[in-house]
Amino acid sequence: MVDDLDRRLIELLARDGRRSFASLAEHLGVAQSTVRTRLAKLEDDDVITIVALCNALLLGHQVVRLLLRVRNLTPRSVADSLSGISQINHIALVAGSHDIYLEATCRDQPRLIDLMDEIRRHPGVASIQPIIVTSLAKDYTWEGLRGTAGQSISDPNG
């Protein structure tokens, strides 16, 4: 599904998602149309999404991570139904003592309380363990996609 050219394209965009098609094409040694086509396919296949990331804490927002336990429904069905809540920006099924991991951002503490109440009332949610983020030391690094920290995006075997 993803070949070496795609991996190299992803690696370049992970460093700078604003890089132009011309710059990417020159670095990869391919035509701009190839970069445009490859990038469109990677986005259509949900392999990548190019976004601007901000530090919500510096904007005065409340940032929370939630660990959920599910009862009477499957974790997947609960995660799918929670995905409609706009403040939730990340949902993952997890293994361990919890079933779902959520990341959410709220404008202020009253909105955070409302969000927690909404999730508690949600069908299938048995318990919530909130983790309130007070400071970010490091966030959204893509270095884990390379070398020994994870699957290499430069070398499919390494």
Q: Is residue 154 part of a domain?
A: no
- Give the structural domain span for 48: 4-52
Instruction: Please give the mean pLDDT across all residues of the chain.
Output: 86
Q: Is residue 153 part of a domain?
A: no
Q: Has residue 116 got a pLDDT over 90?
A: yes
pLDDT at residue 95 in the model: 96
Confidence of residue 84 (pLDDT cuts 50, 70, 90): very high
Token couple for 143: 């270095």
Q: Has residue 17 got a pLDDT over 80?
A: yes
Instruction: Return the CATH number at 104.
Output: 3.30.70.920
> Does the model's pTM come out above 0.85?
no
Domain count, the chain: 2
Q: Has residue 157 got a pLDDT over 60?
A: no
Strand 125-133 to 62-70 pairing: antiparallel
Beta partners for residue 133, in sequence order: 63
- Could you tell me which residues come within 8 angstroms of residue 89 by beta carbon, excluding any fewer than 6 positions away? 103, 104, 105
Same domain as 65, residue 113: yes
Task: Write down the H helix ranges in 16-132.
Answer: 21-28, 32-44, 75-82, 109-121
* Mean pLDDT, rounded, for 130-158: 59
pLDDT at residue 53 in the model: 72
Q: Which of 148, 142, 138, 111 is nearest to 7 (CA)?
A: 142
Same domain as 112, residue 70: yes
Instruction: Return the CATH number at 31.
Output: 1.10.10.10
Task: Write down the H helix ranges in the chain.
Answer: 4-15, 21-28, 32-44, 75-82, 109-121
**3-state DSSP assignment of residue 111:** helix
**3-state DSSP assignment of residue 101:** strand
Q: Is residue 46 part of a domain?
A: yes
pLDDT at residue 49 in the model: 87
Q: Which of 43-47, 50-54, 61-65, 141-145 shows the lowest per-residue confidence on average (mean pLDDT)?
A: 141-145
Same domain as 33, residue 88: no
Same domain as 76, residue 40: no
Same domain as 125, residue 79: yes
* Mean pLDDT, rounded, for 20-38: 96
